Homo-oligomer: A and B are copies of this chain.
Amino acid sequence: MKPNRRLEIISCAADLFQKKGYSSTSVRDIAKSMNMEAASLYNHISSKQDILSTLLLEVASEFSEAMDGIICAPNSSLDKLYQIISSHIKIIIGSAQAVSLIPSEWVHLEGNAIQEFIALRDRYELDFKSILTKCVEEGSLKPVNIELASFSILSTLRWLSSWHIKNPTVDPTIIEEELKKCLIDGLKVNST
């Protein structure tokens, strides 16, 4: 009935999925932490899979929209790279639990949902790699193996949500500043 009851269930499930994984979380686990019976959940959700696909497709869309905004802006490719880091931090601050499901739980999506998710993810990675490539062409980044560099940077960004859940008090400004050093500028002293 109340639409926010559904949201409560989904956010509660996100928390459990993040802690135990989708497969190890039963609908009875979700019901228990909502103080209701398993059968009652089905007045608000259509299936366990429904919860997962809602969570994952929602955050995947958020990332895609952020990427679209960054690509369209009239900035240098290097600036776009920095902006991608900022956008990850912004999205994570808003919904860390859901974002933390992306790295390992997307494999449990089924049917259309997994196809949609993979399409969004592949599109995102292609966009990211093309920004990296342009940075090299424009001379703002060293010539670098695009596949490895994009994997390396995205690994950190993908796991940032889990790190943030464990270190919730660190100032986002510091996260942003330090991550730009780690991922782009370099840690060695004789680098800028």
Contact = CB atoms under 8 A, between A and B. Distances in A.
Contacts of A186: 184-188, 191
Interface in A1-55: 19-21, 23-24
Contacts of A190: 191-192
Interface in A126-143: 139-142
Interface of A: 19-21, 23-24, 78, 103-104, 107-108, 139-142, 144-145, 147-149, 151-153, 155-156, 158-159, 163, 167, 170, 174-175, 178-179, 181-192
Dominant SS among interface residues on chain A: helix
- 4 closest A-B pairs by beta carbon, nearest first, are A186-B186, A191-B191, A23-B23, A104-B104
Contacts of A182: 144, 148-149, 152-153, 183
Nearest to A159: B155
B192 A141 contact: no
A143 B151 CA distance: 25
A44 to B, nearest CB: 24
Contacts of A189: 139-142
B142 A181 contact: yes
Given A21-B21, A175-B148, A184 B185 contact: no
A142 B187 contact: yes
B181 A191 contact: no
For A103, A148, A181, A190, the residue with the greatest tally of chain B CB atoms inside 10 Å of its CB is A148
A129 to B, nearest CB: 13
A146 to B, nearest CB: 10
A108 B20 CA distance: 8
